Amino acid sequence: MPIAVLLRALLLGALVLVLSACGRGDGGGGRGPAPVPVTTLELQPVRWTDELKALGTAQARESVTITASVTQAIASVEFESGQYVGKGQPLVTLVQGQQAAGVAEAEAQLRNEEQLYERSRQLAERQLVSRADLETRRAALEAARARVATQRATVADRVIRTPFAGVLGLRLVSAGSLVTPGTPITTLDDVSLIKLDFTVPEAQLPQLQVGQRVNARSNAWPGETFSGTIASIDSRVDAVSRAVTVRAEIPNPDGRLRPGMLLEVGVERAARQALAIPELAVQQNGSRSSVFVVSEDGASVREVPVQLGSRRFGEVEVVSGLQAGDRIVVEGTVRLRDGARIREVKPGADGDGAGPAGKAPGKTEG
C-alpha cells in the first residue's frame, strides 16, 4: 500500500510540472499562450465592378443552308468546303439544256413579233390598218417579251448563288448528283459578327440594358476574352424557367468563334463603392462566414460574422458585418480563436503562423 501511495504522488507531481510548463508558454511568467503573429489590413471602400455570369450559345450573324429550288442533275460544282465567298457567287450549276433551248425559242418568237409590230406601225401611220390592229400587235409583242423573261428566269434557277458573303461549310454534293427542292448542298455562315444568346433570372432584369458590355470566354481559347455589347433583351420572361433571353453581339473579325460554341458570358455591372477583403481572411464554417477583427488596442481579436457578396480575383465583397476603418486579420488565422491575443508582423516577415503575404489583395485605392 505505501508503494501505491508513492506512485500516485509521483504521477501527481509530474502532471503539475506539465501544466506549469504549458501555462508559461513562450511568454513566460504564467501569462497564458503567446500572442499569435498575424498580418492585418485596414478596410477602406474600393471601386467594385463584377460580372453577372451566364452560359450562352454562339450563332452566326447570318446563317442559311443552301438548297436547290428545282429537281435536276448537277452539271458542275464551283466551290470547296470552308471557302470564303462573296454575295452572288455561283456555287452549283444544274443541267439546263432544255431550258436554254426554251430561251432560244422565246427569243426567236420575240424577234418575229418585233418585225410584225414594226410593219403594223408603219401601215398605221399611212392609215392602211386600224388603230385596234396596231394595239393587237403591241400586245403580242409584250407577251413575247414576257416569255423570254420567263425562260431566262428558268435558266437562272439552274445556277445556285450565295445570298450573302460568308464562309461555306462542307460540300454535300458532287457533279452528276440529282437534287430536288430542299436537298442540302452546303451551309453558309456570316461569322464576321457573332450573336450570343443567353438567359438570366428575371430578378437580374433591372441590372441589364441595351449597350451594356459583355465578356465571353471559350474553352477552345483558354485565357482569351471576347468583348461585345448587349444588342437586345427579349420582351417576354419564360413562364417555366422564370428567365429572360438576352442577345449580345461580339465582333469576330478573325473567325475564331464559330456558331454552336458554348461560351461563358460575363455581363459587366455598374461600378459601385464597396468593402472588399481578401478571400484568405474569411473563415468558413458550413454556410456561416466570419472574419477576425482586431480590437481597438490592437492586442486581441474578436470573431465577427459577415455576409458576403460577389467575388473577383481573390477578393470578396462584404455586404454586412464590417465597416470602413475596421482592421481585420489577413494571415495567421489558423491559430486564432475569439479573444485570442495577437502580435502584428510586417507582410513577408517570417513568423509562427504568418507566412509571406506581400501586399494584401484587398488594399485597393478607391
Could you write out the DSSP letters of every residue in 69-101?
Answer: SS-EEEEEE---TT-EE-TT-EEEEE--HHHHH
- pLDDT tens-digit readout, 83-121: 999 998 999 988 876 666 666 777 788 788 788 888 878
Would you state the pLDDT for residue 59?
94
- pLDDT tens-digit readout, 213-246: 999 999 999 989 999 999 999 999 999 999 999 9
Query: Are β-strands 315-320 and 283-285 bridged in parallel, bridged antiparallel, or unpaired?
Result: unpaired
pLDDT at 145 over 70: yes
Calculate Rg over the CA atoms of the chain.
41
Give the three cell numbers for residue 232: 437586345
**Is 335 buried (19+), middle (13-18) or exposed (0-12) by CB count in 10 A?**
middle
- Report helix, strand or coil for 216: strand
Would you state the pLDDT for residue 96?
76
Q: What distance in Å separates the CA atoms of residue 306 and residue 325, rounded to the nearest whole number?
A: 15
Would you state the pLDDT for residue 139?
87
pLDDT at 173 over 60: yes
In percent, how much of the chain has pLDDT > 90? 30
Give the three cell numbers for residue 89: 457567287
Would you state the pLDDT for residue 206?
86
Mean pLDDT of the chain: 82
When mean pLDDT is compared over 103-112, 132-141, 157-166, the highest value belongs to 157-166
- pLDDT tens-digit readout, 69-93: 888 888 889 899 989 999 989 999 8
Give pTM, 2 decimals.
Answer: 0.57
Q: What distance in Å separates the CA atoms of residue 158 and residue 96, rounded to the nearest whole number?
A: 6
Residue with cell 446563317: 63
Would you state the pLDDT for residue 102?
65
Sketch out the chain's domains with CATH numbers.
34-48+272-344 (2.40.420.20), 52-61+189-268 (2.40.30.170)
